[in-house]
Structure 1
Amino acid sequence: MDLDDLRSFAQVVRHGGFSAAERATGERKAKLSRRVARLEQVLGVRLIERSTRNLRVTDVGREIYRQCETIAEGIDATQAIAARARSQISGNLRIACPPGLARYLRTDVFARFLLLYPDVHLEMHISSQRIDLIQERFDAAFRVDIDTVHDQALTMHQLGRLDRILVAAPAVAAQVAATTIASLAELPTLSVGEHVEHDEWLLMNGQGRQHVVAHHPRFCSNDSATVRDAAVAGLGVALLSSAACSVELQQGRLVHVLPDWRTSEGIVHVLFTARTGMSPTLRAFIDYVAESFPSLTGSTLA
Structure 2
Amino acid sequence: MGLDDALIFTRVVECHSFTLAAQGLGMQKSTVSRRIALLEERLGVRLINRTTRKLRLTEVGQAYYERCRQIMLDFAEAEHAVMQLQREPSGLLRISAPIEFGQLFLGKVLGAFMRQYPEIRAEVELTSRPVDPVEEGVDIAILVGPPQDSTLIARKLFESRRRLCASPAYLAAHGVPESIEQLADHRAILLPSDAPRYWPLIGESVVCQRVMSCNNITFAREAVLAGAGIAGLPLMISEYAVRRGELIELLPQARLPVGEVHAVYPSRRFQAMKVKTFLDFLMHHLPRDEGELLEPATARLLTLGL
Pairwise same-fold verdict (TM > 0.5): yes
Find 2:159's aligned residue among 158, 161, 179. Answer: 161
2:191 aligned partner: 192
Q: CA deviation at 1:26?
A: 6.5
Q: 1:277 is aligned with what amino acid? A: F
Cα separation, 2, equivalents of 1:296 and 1:264 = 18
**Aligned residue pairs, count:** 291
Q: 8 Å contact 2:85–2:272 — kept in the other structure?
A: yes
Q: CA deviation at 1:247?
A: 0.6
2:115 aligned partner: 115
Cα separation, 1, equivalents of 2:104 and 2:205 = 27
Cα separation, 1, equivalents of 2:228 and 2:67 = 76
Tell me: CA distance 1:134–1:21, structure 2 relative to 1, closer, same or farther (3 Å): closer
Q: CA deviation at 1:263?
A: 0.6
Q: 8 Å contact 1:47–1:60 — kept in the other structure?
A: yes
Structure 1 residue runs of 5 or longer lacking an equivalent are 205-209
Tell me: CA distance 1:123–1:71, structure 2 relative to 1, closer, same or farther (3 Å): closer
Q: CA deviation at 1:18?
A: 3.5
1:245 aligned partner: 238
Q: 1:64 is aligned with what amino acid? A: Y
What value does the CA root-mean-square deviation take over the aligned residues? 2.9
1:142 aligned partner: 142
Q: CA deviation at 1:250?
A: 1.1
2:62 is aligned with 1:62: yes
Tell me: CA distance 1:38–1:291, structure 2 relative to 1, closer, same or farther (3 Å): same
The TM-score normalised by the length of structure 1 is 0.82
Q: In percent, how many aligned pairs have the same letter?
A: 30
Q: 8 Å contact 2:192–2:215 — kept in the other structure?
A: yes
Cα separation, 2, equivalents of 1:226 and 1:17 = 74
Q: 2:122 is aligned with what amino acid? A: L
2:216 is aligned with 1:216: no
Q: 1:69 is aligned with what amino acid? A: R
Moved more, 258-267 or 105-114: 105-114
2:80 aligned partner: 80
Q: CA deviation at 1:264?
A: 2.5
The TM-score normalised by the length of structure 2 is 0.82
Tell me: CA distance 1:153–1:259, structure 2 relative to 1, closer, same or farther (3 Å): same
Q: CA deviation at 1:137?
A: 2.9
1:207 aligned partner: none
2:12 is aligned with 1:12: yes
Aligned residue for 2:269, secondary structure, equals coil
1:47 aligned partner: 47
Q: 1:13 is aligned with what amino acid? A: V
